[in-house]
Amino acid sequence: MPQSLTIVYYPKTINDRINLPLSKSLSNRLLMIYALMSWPMDRLKLSQADDTVLLKSLLSTIAKNEVDDFEDDPLQLNCKNAGTTLRFLSPYLSILTKEYMLTGSSRMQERPIGPLVDALRKLGADIRYVNKDGFPPIIIKPANIAYTDIVMDASKSSQFASAILLLLPLLSDEAKLRFIGKISSRPYIEMTLDLMTYFGIKYSFDKLELILKGKYLLPKKEFIVEADWSSASYWYEVLSMTRGGELFIQNLKIKSLQGDRILAEIYASLGVQTYQEKDGIRIKAEGEVSYNQNIDFKNYPDIALSVIASCAALGVMGKFSGLESLNLKESRRMDMLCSELGKLDFDLRDNGFGEYVLINPCRIENRSYDFSNIVIQTAGDHRMAMAFAPFAIIGKSICISDANSVNKSYPMFWDELLKIAKVY
């Protein structure tokens, strides 16, 4: 696939079946439970996203190293640009018998890991920073890990909390985790907990205090990984821009473990309705658009780009909050979103009070946009690439850089987009 792709949309009646990847969030958590318990993973049906493939590969490398010493000491594990992989591996490596170094891309080395390292050190982990305190790379040595009450900051990433939670049942039959400050993306922590209950763990989660009870048990019935709700956001975006047609999205449930199911509620006010059917959901471009939106993405940051892009295309005046973590992602995501929307003559700006405002002076019913000569820079960020592709619908065509970045979460995205547009 070329580094950049051009998407050309020819108006048509949309009525297609869309395939989504399996949830990489659930897949990665499932992998970690199996790794922690040394259960065989070969029969698990998992996401084929790059992040999950990488995590499974690294877990295999670690298992081999624990049995047969590799030449490298410490063994270097490159997590590339997969933040979840690096964070989830940190607690796991802390209970093993060999020395490891966790590293990643240059961008990964700018993403904080301090709160997770602090929490692991309280449990007795032997971790040191290689370069800058609070950031990868880190070296993890064998240590005596034992449970103690943990207080941690999960304001920058819910993955810090999830990484610790997955480990705790190995350390104690009953464990407590207390949070300070705001919790970022709480539904992702709840997803972790709900998955853990499938494997025998009970929990209570009251505001800033979380209590776990029990030990992991291998269930008789295999856990089935759902399709990925965050990946569905791009198809909601497509229908919001076409203002007509419908799509059937396979293997998706409105009643899901995934917090990003909130898409159905958000897009109901953007002219896209959701209906549950036997084998998936059907979304239809119908209903009124609310042209004033005030949305807090604190619990759902992964769908922010798609929703804000939809609002821009629809001529919505919007105010958006809870986006602080996005500049710590694969790119400085909000900075990129503002700059690239600006290329398309949409005005999204940081108001300096922890919010972003979308300013649309008027609603353009008969579109006169032409994005044919515009190249959207994505900085290798998969969500940037997929969120901007639908703008071809209102702008004749559009060119997306770093097209291969979609492999991180949705490898078949461009193939699926061929159902409604030309991609070359």
Active site members: 302
Q: CA distances (Å), 286 to each of 10, 13, 46, 245, in order?
A: 20, 14, 34, 8
Largest CA distance in the chain: 67
- Looking up tokens 């933040």 gives 83
Two tokens at 351? 């108001």
Rounded Cα–Cα distance for residues 334 and 342 (Å): 12
Rounded Cα–Cα distance for residues 183 and 153 (Å): 8
- At a CB cut-off of 8 Å and minimum separation 6, what does 236 contact? 263, 267, 270, 272, 283, 306, 310
Rounded Cα–Cα distance for residues 53 and 62 (Å): 14
Cβ atoms < 10 Å from Cβ of 277: 11
Q: CA distances (Å), 290 to each of 155, 225, 266, in order?
A: 31, 34, 10
Residue 416 main-chain phi, psi, to 5 deg:
-70, -35
Rounded Cα–Cα distance for residues 401 and 385 (Å): 7
What phi-psi label fits residue 345: left (phi over 0), alpha (psi between -120 and 50 degrees) or beta? left
